[in-house]
């Protein structure tokens, strides 16, 4: 048979495929092998608007940000998350939002990320263990989401919950913490524009070890408040128990505000080691509220931060 005709449907499929690849390249996904993951197709990370900041210190390297992590669901070593987090399936992903709001609903991640345009914000992260980093996160203010949810007057606190899937998160087979990991904020803390709902880092979608596909970043609190891989958000009336406060109430409180004047029972919080500094370098002075006191200090006026640590 002479010219076997190419079906119109085949041409169309191929054209769509290449257009899509070009589109993904244009918006910053260099790899053509990226496939059609809905998780990745929406996320225009590299074009996030850069929000000005006054941090003079240089950024912690991408390598340190993505290989020196705390994510106990994958083990206790700093190297464990990078070694094991690839086993966590993040596509599809949804976040169940319920409690004292107008409408309880499960949101597909791709709908959540579209609520606002993405911004790149450089924040200091201070771990309660005494080290710190400077990281370019990508996301938008959690307040954008909260405003759309129409909270009722009974919504006083917001609880976040991490994925619970022991087959993919082998650390959850051990009882080091009470899984799933829970964190919470007062509503006014959650509404503060610095509180970030975070989808990316360093111009890319979050690597699994950093809490893909969606996490929280609260820059004036110890790192453990910045919960990773969120699947549930709930609005409640009274102050909830959170994972670290439950596991060791004498050492970890609800607020966990960075505070050089209130030591951890087992070590000082007055100084910190910047990851990437030479081991001979002097420890740096930790700043009250991690340097964000001017912005968020009013949230705690009248509160005894020694008692409410």
Question: Which residues lie near ligand MTE (CB under 6 A)?
Answer: 69-73, 125, 127, 162, 181, 210-211, 223-224, 226-229
**Strand, coil or helix: 273:** strand
70 vs 195, beta carbon nearer ligand MTE: 70
Tokens of 285: 């002075």
**Closest distance to Mo ion from the beta carbon of 245 (Å):** 14
Which entry of Mo ion, ligand MTE, none binds 292, CB below 5 to 8 A by partner kind? Answer: none
The site string for Mo ion over 57-76 (x = CB under 5 A, - otherwise) reads -------------x------
Q: Please give the C-alpha separations between residue 296 and each of 12, 219, 301, in angstroms, as whole numbers.
A: 54, 10, 10
Which entry of Mo ion, ligand MTE, none binds 210, CB below 5 to 8 A by partner kind? Answer: ligand MTE
Which entry of Mo ion, ligand MTE, none binds 226, CB below 5 to 8 A by partner kind? Answer: ligand MTE
Give bridge partners of residue 285 from the DSSP assignment: 271
Residues 86, 73: Cα–Cα separation, whole Å? 12
81 vs 99, beta carbon nearer ligand MTE: 81
Which entry of ligand MTE, Mo ion, none binds 242, CB below 5 to 8 A by partner kind? Answer: none
**Closest distance to Mo ion from the beta carbon of 129 (Å):** 6
The helix or strand, by DSSP H or E, that contains position 120, with its residue range, turns out to be: strand 119-126
Closest CA to 171 of 88, 114, 115: 88
Closest residue to ligand MTE, Cβ-based? 223
- Is the Cα torsion angle 208, 211, 215, 217 positive or negative in sign? negative
**Closest distance to ligand MTE from the beta carbon of 270 (Å):** 18
In degrees, to the nearest 5, what angle opens at C-alpha 45 toward C-alphas 43 and 49?
125
Give bridge partners of residue 237 from the DSSP assignment: none
Which entry of ligand MTE, Mo ion, none binds 200, CB below 5 to 8 A by partner kind? Answer: none
Q: Which of 99, 171, 213, 223 binds Mo ion (CB under 5 A)?
A: 223
Which entry of Mo ion, ligand MTE, none binds 220, CB below 5 to 8 A by partner kind? Answer: none
93 vs 151, beta carbon nearer ligand MTE: 93
Widest CA span of the chain, in angstroms?
88
**Closest distance to ligand MTE from the beta carbon of 283 (Å):** 17
Q: Please give the C-alpha separations between residue 78 and each of 142, 185, 228, 247, in angstroms, as whole numbers.
A: 28, 26, 15, 20
- Compute CA 27 distance to the chain's CA centroid, rounded to the nearest angstrom: 22
- Compute CA 70 distance to the chain's CA centroid, rounded to the nearest angstrom: 12
**Closest distance to Mo ion from the beta carbon of 128 (Å):** 5
70 vs 290, beta carbon nearer Mo ion: 70
Which entry of ligand MTE, Mo ion, none binds 162, CB below 5 to 8 A by partner kind? Answer: ligand MTE
Residues 108, 115: Cα–Cα separation, whole Å? 12
Identify residues 120-159 at the interface with Mo ion (CB under 5 A): 127-128
Residues 259, 71: Cα–Cα separation, whole Å? 23
Q: Which residues form the interface with Mo ion (CB under 5 A)?
A: 70, 127-128, 223-224
């Amino acid at each position: 048979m002479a010219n076997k005709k190419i079906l119109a449907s085949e041409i169309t499929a191929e054209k769509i495929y290449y257009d899509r690849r070009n589109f993904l390249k244009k918006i910053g996904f260099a790899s053509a092998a990226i496939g059609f993951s809905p998780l990745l197709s929406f996320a225009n990370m590299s074009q996030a608007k850069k929000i000005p900041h006054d941090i003079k210190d240089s950024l912690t390297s991408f390598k340190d940000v993505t290989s020196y992590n705390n994510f106990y669901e994958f083990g206790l070593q700093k190297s464990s998350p990078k070694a094991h987090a690839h086993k966590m399936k993040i596509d599809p992903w949804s976040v169940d939002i319920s409690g004292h709001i107008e409408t309880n609903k499960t949101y597909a991640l791709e709908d959540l990320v579209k609520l606002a345009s993405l911004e790149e914000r450089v924040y200091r992260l201070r771990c309660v263990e005494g080290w710190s980093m400077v990281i370019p996160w990508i996301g938008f203010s959690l307040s954008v989401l909260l405003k759309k949810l129409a909270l009722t007057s009974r919504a006083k606190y917001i609880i976040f919950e991490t994925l619970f899937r022991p087959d993919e998160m082998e650390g959850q087979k051990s009882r080091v913490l009470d899984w799933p990991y829970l964190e919470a904020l007062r509503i006014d803390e959650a509404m503060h524009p610095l509180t970030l709902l975070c989808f990316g880092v360093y111009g890319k979608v979050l690597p699994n070890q950093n809490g893909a596909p969606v996490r929280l970043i609260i820059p004036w609190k110890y790192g453990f408040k910045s919960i990773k891989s969120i699947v549930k958000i709930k609005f409640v009336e009274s102050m909830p128990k959170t994972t670290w406060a439950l596991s060791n109430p004498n050492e970890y409180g609800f607020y966990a505000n960075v505070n050089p004047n209130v030591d951890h029972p087992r070590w000082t919080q007055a100084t910190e080691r910047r990851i990437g500094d030479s081991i001979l370098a002097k420890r740096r002075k930790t700043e009250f509220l991690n340097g964000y006191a001017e912005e968020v200090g009013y949230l705690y006026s009248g509160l005894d931060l020694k008692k409410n640590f």
